[in-house]
């Protein structure tokens, strides 16, 4: 009988090894105590491939996510037993209970978790600083004791402090990247009125094709066809919003336009339409809407109108599955350094550089740094010159070339095994209107010498299978001004709206300058796995339908200009995203003493 168990254990371990899965002794114990471990193991191996956060380490947390009654029962039994044992053995020297699950593993995130969270299933987290360690453990956490502050100071990392051991894992992997979309050198315009017409037409065609991918769109008809109807008829159509207003009794009238004509749509403001009203309240001119309802031709000589039943935008499919990397590498997403500005937070940025080089006196930070293979600088690397009136008063370096010299000097501290992508923001010496080409060579030569990849705004890149849409974020201020319920303190909500309408700048006649080019680069035709923006200077992290949303913090303190707009920036918060799990670790360099 005992022999049999030993054999079984060997088989289980073999099976796991050949599936490339690592396991902790605790988890193995649990599996071995199942009625038929080998059979259940097959199920576990299969199920783990559907868990996005699974990175080949089978932990209790991962087991939790597998819906199998026997596993869940055994798990419950074990977790409470372990806690009792832990409690009996507990001394102040012992690490927190919360750690016994994760600390056996090589690259799991080890606390000081105060400054970081696992965002795998949390949407729009902004106040992550308040989240406890236990957030990492899913619902196992409910039965675990709360960690105490004293224990935090226990000696777990003492050995790490004496020797700053740093062997970057990312160095062991080759670069694997592709530029999927970059407007640099591909922007053609004559500046004529015709170009705006071409742009709108291209936008309409692209958005329409995206909308048409939804199965319920098949029946949608052209607007001119609708006018041929002489009696009430159920129809569906789609068009760009030409006008939108609320009538005296609170209903919404929207004018839709396609290449065949324009038509009015009425959505009644009644409780059963609450979701559609919300959609309308977040709609601006030139977005594409789908409507179905009843067409009423009206009395003779009058124009007909659609009484809408439903109204919707293109959106992202609810079952979107993000691509992930097979290699355990990460990307650091930064923006808005504003080098040359009096408010550039050089000290904080030096801490970031120390972190990247494994020189932070915390083992877990060095582990995170060791995986960083890519750094994306999403615009406003330099403060530029003449960007706004009297800018020179706010500059410490008032020569654009010298700003770039200093930028190159700082970035030269980043090791060669890390690839840097640099997208041009609104402070860069390039035209203000978007889409915007990469910074010209005459400014960026030193950066190019360092191997920095300079890109236009927006760009789409693929790193280790993961697609990242990089957009500086110019239109986000406008969106926040126009749309009630959106504001600068919650950039993730604004990013979500851009994804839903599948356009990066669905604003019309506001501050965002849009270049009259013949083809619309701002349509989000390919769904990104990571959507990265900056510009707002306020960090935000979230997820929408499995797309990771990240607005970088910045490395610039509050300027007078921001103060006048009531913007409180979050300098030093730097999100690191693991490309193999898409978990985001927002490090706060203000809180790190290096």
CA angle 527/529/530 to nearest 5° reads: 110
Q: Does 322 engage in binding with Zn ion (CB under 5 A)?
A: no
**CA-wise closest residue to 124 among 486, 468, 527, 493:** 493
Q: What is the dihedral of CA 335, 338, 339, 341, to 10 degrees?
A: -160
| Minimal distance, residue 569 CB to Fe ion, in Å | 9
- Candidates 25-33, 227-235, 343-351, 380-388; binding stretch for Fe ion (CB under 5 A): 380-388
Nearer to Fe ion, 71 or 337 (CB): 337
Nearer to Zn ion, 535 or 543 (CB): 535
Q: Does 380 engage in binding with Fe ion (CB under 5 A)?
A: yes
Q: Does 74 engage in binding with Zn ion (CB under 5 A)?
A: no
CA atoms within 13 A on the CB side of 112: 19
Nearer to Fe ion, 382 or 579 (CB): 382
Map the footprint of Zn ion across residues 535-554, applying CB under 5 A: 535
From Fe ion, Zn ion, none, which one binds at residue 258 (CB under 5 to 8 Å depending on kind)?
A: none
| Minimal distance, residue 464 CB to Fe ion, in Å | 28
| Minimal distance, residue 555 CB to Fe ion, in Å | 10
From Fe ion, Zn ion, none, which one binds at residue 343 (CB under 5 to 8 Å depending on kind)?
A: none
Nearer to Zn ion, 367 or 380 (CB): 380
DSSP 121-188: T-SSB--GGG--GGGGGGGGGGGSPPPPHHHHTSGGGHHHHHS-----GGGGS---EEEEE--TT---
| Minimal distance, residue 468 CB to Zn ion, in Å | 18
Nearer to Zn ion, 37 or 572 (CB): 572
From Zn ion, Fe ion, none, which one binds at residue 181 (CB under 5 to 8 Å depending on kind)?
A: none
From Fe ion, Zn ion, none, which one binds at residue 520 (CB under 5 to 8 Å depending on kind)?
A: none
Which residues have a Cβ under 8 Å from the Cβ of 427 and sit 6 or more positions away?
338, 379, 380, 382, 383, 384, 387
Angstrom distances, CA of residue 229 to CA of 49, 235, 293, 298, 496: 52, 10, 14, 11, 38
Nearer to Fe ion, 31 or 476 (CB): 476
Distance CA 545, CA 363 (A): 33
Which positions from 202 to 221 touch Fe ion by CB under 5 A, shown as an x/- string? --------------------
- Candidates 24-32, 372-380, 401-409, 494-502; binding stretch for Zn ion (CB under 5 A): 372-380
| Minimal distance, residue 426 CB to Zn ion, in Å | 4
Query: What are the strands of the beta sheet with 459-463, ordered from one edge?
Result: 177-181, 459-463, 466-470, 530-533, 547-551, 540-544
Distance CA 330, CA 446 (A): 25
Asked if residue 378 lies in contact with residue 335, where contact means CB atoms within 8 angstroms, the answer is: yes
From Zn ion, Fe ion, none, which one binds at residue 426 (CB under 5 to 8 Å depending on kind)?
A: Zn ion
Number of residues that bind Zn ion (CB under 5 A): 4
Map the footprint of Zn ion across residues 418-477, applying CB under 5 A: 425-426
Distance CA 388, CA 365 (A): 38
- Candidates 121-129, 190-198, 378-386, 525-533; binding stretch for Fe ion (CB under 5 A): 378-386
Position among 96, 115, 380, 580 found at the interface with Zn ion (CB under 5 A): 380
Nearer to Fe ion, 28 or 567 (CB): 567
Distance CA 56, CA 136 (A): 17
Distance CA 51, CA 249 (A): 49
3-class secondary-structure state, position 461:
strand
Place of tokens 């997403």: 333
Nearer to Fe ion, 258 or 336 (CB): 336
CA angle 502/505/510 to nearest 5° reads: 150
Q: In 319-476, at which residue ranges do the beta strands (DSSP E only) sit?
A: 330-334, 372-378, 419-423, 453-455, 459-463, 466-470
| Minimal distance, residue 426 CB to Fe ion, in Å | 7
Distance CA 86, CA 83 (A): 5
Phi and psi dihedrals of 312, rounded to 5? Answer: -155, 165
Asked if residue 347 lies in contact with residue 394, where contact means CB atoms within 8 angstroms, the answer is: no
| Minimal distance, residue 538 CB to Fe ion, in Å | 11
From Fe ion, Zn ion, none, which one binds at residue 436 (CB under 5 to 8 Å depending on kind)?
A: none
Strands 233-246 and 288-296, how do they pair?
antiparallel
Nearer to Fe ion, 474 or 493 (CB): 474
3-class secondary-structure state, position 295:
strand
What count of residues does the chain have?
Answer: 594
- Candidates 5-13, 35-43, 303-311, 528-536; binding stretch for Zn ion (CB under 5 A): 528-536
| Minimal distance, residue 425 CB to Fe ion, in Å | 6
Which residues have a Cβ under 8 Å from the Cβ of 119 and sit 6 or more positions away?
125, 128, 541, 542, 543, 583, 584
| Minimal distance, residue 340 CB to Fe ion, in Å | 12
| Minimal distance, residue 559 CB to Fe ion, in Å | 10
Map the footprint of Fe ion across residues 326-365, applying CB under 5 A: 336
- Candidates 104-112, 169-177, 372-380, 447-455; binding stretch for Fe ion (CB under 5 A): 372-380
| Minimal distance, residue 484 CB to Zn ion, in Å | 24
Nearer to Zn ion, 82 or 336 (CB): 336
3-class secondary-structure state, position 563:
helix
List of residues contacting Zn ion (CB under 5 A): 380, 425-426, 535
List of residues contacting Fe ion (CB under 5 A): 336, 380
């Amino acid at each position: 009988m005992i022999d049999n168990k030993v054999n079984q254990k060997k088989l289980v371990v073999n099976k796991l090894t050949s599936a490339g899965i690592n396991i902790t002794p605790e988890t193995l114990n649990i599996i071995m105590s199942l009625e038929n471990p080998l059979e259940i193991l097959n199920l576990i191996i299969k199920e783990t491939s559907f868990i996005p956060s699974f990175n080949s380490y089978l932990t209790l947390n991962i087991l939790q996510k597998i819906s199998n009654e026997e596993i869940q029962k055994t798990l419950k039994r074990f977790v409470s037993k372990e806690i009792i044992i832990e409690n009996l053995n507990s001394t102040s020297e012992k690490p927190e209970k919360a750690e016994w699950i994760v600390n056996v593993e090589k690259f799991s995130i080890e606390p000081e978790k105060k400054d970081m969270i696992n965002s795998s299933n949390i949407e729009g987290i902004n106040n992550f600083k308040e989240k406890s360690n236990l957030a990492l453990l899913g619902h196992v956490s409910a039965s675990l004791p709360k960690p105490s502050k004293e224990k935090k100071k226990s000696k777990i990392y003492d050995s790490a402090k004496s020797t700053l051991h740093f062997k970057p894992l990312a160095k062991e992997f080759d670069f694997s990247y592709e530029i999927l979309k970059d407007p640099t050198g591909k922007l053609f315009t004559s500046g004529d009125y015709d170009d705006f017409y071409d742009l709108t037409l291209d936008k309409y065609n692209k958005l329409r094709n995206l909308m048409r991918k939804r199965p319920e769109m098949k029946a949608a008809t052209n607007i001119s066809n609708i006018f041929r109807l002489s009696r009430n008829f159920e129809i569906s159509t789609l068009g760009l919003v030409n006008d939108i207003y609320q009538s005296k009794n609170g209903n919404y009238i929207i004018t839709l336009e396609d290449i065949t004509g324009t038509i009015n749509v009425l959505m009644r403001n009644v409780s059963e339409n609450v979701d559609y009203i919300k959609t309308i309240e977040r709609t601006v001119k030139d977005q594409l809407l789908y409507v179905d309802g009843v067409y009423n031709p009206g009395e003779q000589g009058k124009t007909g109108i659609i009484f809408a039943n439903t109204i919707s935008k293109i959106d992202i499919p609810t079952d979107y599955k993000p691509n992930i990397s097979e290699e355990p590498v990460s990307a650091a997403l930064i923006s808005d350094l504003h080098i040359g500005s009096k408010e550039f937070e050089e000290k904080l940025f030096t801490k970031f550089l120390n972190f990247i080089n494994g020189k932070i006196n915390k083992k877990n930070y060095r582990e995170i740094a060791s995986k960083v293979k890519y750094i994306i600088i999403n615009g406003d690397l330099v403060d530029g010159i003449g960007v706004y009136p009297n800018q020179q008063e706010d500059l410490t370096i008032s020569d654009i070339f010298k700003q770039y010299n200093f930028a190159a000097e700082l970035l030269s501290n980043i090791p060669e095994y890390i690839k840097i992508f640099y997208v041009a923001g609104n402070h860069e010496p390039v035209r203000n209107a978007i889409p915007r080409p990469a910074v010209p060579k005459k400014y960026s030569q030193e950066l190019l010498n360092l191997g920095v990849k300079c890109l236009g705004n927006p760009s789409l890149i693929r790193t280790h299978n993961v697609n990242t849409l990089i957009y500086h974020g110019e239109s986000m201020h406008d969106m926040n001004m126009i749309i009630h319920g959106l504001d600068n303190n919650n950039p993730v909500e604004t990013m979500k709206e851009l994804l839903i309408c599948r356009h990066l700048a669905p604003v019309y006649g506001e501050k965002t300058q849009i270049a009259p080019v013949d083809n619309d680069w701002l349509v989000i035709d390919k769904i990104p796995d990571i959507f990265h923006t900056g510009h707002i200077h306020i960090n935000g992290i979230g997820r929408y339908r499995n797309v990771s949303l990240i607005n970088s913090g910045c490395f610039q303190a509050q300027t007078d200009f921001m103060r006048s707009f009531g913007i409180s920036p979050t300098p030093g918060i730097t999100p690191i995203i693991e490309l193999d799990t898409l978990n985001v670790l927002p490090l706060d360099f203000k809180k790190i003493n290096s």
